[in-house]
Amino acid sequence: MVLSGVYILVTATFSLLLLSWKFYAWSVLYRQRRLLKKEHGCEEPPRYPNKDPVFGLDVAWRNYISQKNHNLLPELLSRYQKYGNTYSLRLGGSRSLSTIEPENLKSILSTDFASYSFGSRRTNALKPFLSKSIFTLTGSDWQHSRAMIRPNLAKTQFIDAESSTFEKHFGRMLSVLPKDGSEIDLEPLFFSFTLNTSIELLTGQDLYLDHDVSKLFDDAGRLIVDEFLLPFVPLRQSKKEYLEASRLCHTWIDSYIHQAIKEHQSSTSNTSLENEKFPGSGKYSLLQELVKETYDVPRIRGELLGILVAGRETTAVALTSLWFTLAKRPEIVQKLQAEVAELAGQRPDFVQLKKMRYLQNTIQESLRLYPSLPTNMRTAVQDTILPVGGGPDGSSPVFVEKGQLVIFNYFAMHRRQDIFGADADVFRPERWEDDALRPGWGYLPFNGGPRICLGQQFALTEIAYTTVRLLQEFQGVESRDNSPWKENWHVTCSVKTGCKVSLF
């Protein structure tokens, strides 16, 4: 009995001390945060009226239903219009922030970059498919990935390979396009085209992938969406399907990685370590550079898949949205044809594409209204401040506490009338001819800051080259789909109905 009493006393004392310490730590943190808010003049942003004020399941469910109905982006846009350019909401059991303020994005992505990370939600969704890669890693691991990849995606490394590779795979796409004006859906052709060009430039091999392999990537990309929207729902069928699709993609690409490792080992055993090409390949590739760094197959796989998905998905959906729009705007096609005619039938090179101003403006406008990655998010790794968004007029700084999720939306930001004019929701390439239009951090189709898309130049070149070559082969395009642009979510966001057109 005495020992039992002593045990209870010690336990009670320890519990009291622990509670006292926790209360003290909380009070210190509370005072520190209050002083930080006061020092910066922080005010609360408007609040979204959650029906579930504890877990925010009402928002999660509404987002899920909107996504399934291909109406999530307009739903998110309407919230900014109703509650302001920055507002808070309860989502997943914690209070998150949502913003479309350029100054806030500049802070998150650049000037206060170190205060934010991807957070577990994004990482957990992508990791089964992309493993350890530049798109899932943070800190020193991410810096190492970027250091490995960035030099190998530089324009000087790929400039010779790009045009010949583009033309070869464009020729294959052209061979299946009807010449009699009959209807064709360009979307699957764009996805096949960008997948094959990306694979060849990444591996140095012309694999010319068939439909079954393309479908593996389509399935994985489609199922990732549920991982973002429904991470709290256990034992989902989509979870099992996602893991299986990821496994099949891994098995497929691992065979080429093992082959590359064997060739590199053979190369280094017979020649000096300075050798830059695999025997007989005669071609520069990211894969051969990665195996010089490591033989870690999951790590190489993650980097290749990350760049492959980015190179394939973002470019294909950008081409789809662009040609979906061109098919409904013959006056824009006429202006583009006049510019393309100046090439006198010659295939364009990198410099010529850059000089075609109306073409570049049209691509910019398409990426403005239909960004391939319309939303993104970061999680604060320490207490920090957003420059604007608080108070009655939204001009005061907003306090962001450690662990808080910050969501931002390029789709909505690119439609702000105070940045792009009263006709911000209209597709008008001519707006980019106005020297007064300087959106800065208000225009981010390829992200910004240290994590800006490494393949931006490659993607823009591929979009421009493909568009010019189609305009050289066909004089016009007509839409065979009267529906408006509606979203379809995969890893990226494309057009729900595809791109059904007639080329003539």
Domains contained in the chain, CATH given: 58-497 (1.10.630.10)
What's the rounded Cα separation, in Å, for the pair 186 and 321? 10
Q: How far apart are CA 375 and CA 27, in angstroms?
A: 36
Q: What was the pLDDT predicted at 84? A: 97
What pLDDT was estimated at residue 71? 95
Could you give the angle at the alpha carbon of 460 between the alpha carbons of 473 and 488, nearest 5°? 90
Strands 183-185, 493-495: pairing is unpaired
Sort residue 394 into left (φ over 0), alpha (ψ -120 to 50) or beta: left
Predicted model pTM = 0.86
pLDDT of amino acid 288: 84
pLDDT at 242: 85
pLDDT of residue 271: 55
Q: So what's the pLDDT on residue 211?
A: 62
Residue 272 token pair: 């000096």
Q: Which positions of the chain have pLDDT values less than 70?
A: 1-5, 7, 151-162, 209-211, 228-235, 269-284
**Residue pair 337/231 in contact by the 8 Å Cβ criterion:** no
Helix runs in 84-210, H state only: 102-106, 119-130, 139-149, 155-175, 186-203
493 is in an annotated binding site: no
**pLDDT per residue as tens digits for the range 347-390:** 999 899 999 999 999 999 999 999 999 999 999 999 999 999 99
CA 86/CA 63 separation, integer angstroms: 18
Q: Is the dihedral of CA 30, 36, 42, 46 positive or negative?
A: negative
Q: What's the CA gap between 348 and 170, in Å, rounded?
A: 13
| Contacts of residue 37, Cβ cutoff 8 Å, sequence gap at least 6 | 399
Give 362's contacts (C-beta < 8 A, 6+ positions apart): 322, 326, 332, 336, 429
What DSSP line would sit under 422-476, residue for residue? TTTTS--GGGGG-TT---GGG--TT--GGG--TTHHHHHHHHHHHHHHHHHH-S-
Distance, in Å, from the CA atom of 99 to the CA atom of 386, rounded to the nearest integer, reads 10
Contact 419, 432 (CB under 8 A): no
Cα distances from 407 to residues 105, 208, 439, in angstroms, run 10, 38, 20
What is the rounded radius of gyration, in angstroms, for the C-alpha atoms of the chain?
26
pLDDT digits (tens, 9 = 90+) for 434-492: 999 999 999 999 999 999 988 888 899 999 999 999 999 999 999 999 999 999 988 78
The secondary structure of residue 344, as a DSSP letter, is T
What pLDDT score was predicted for residue 137?
A: 79
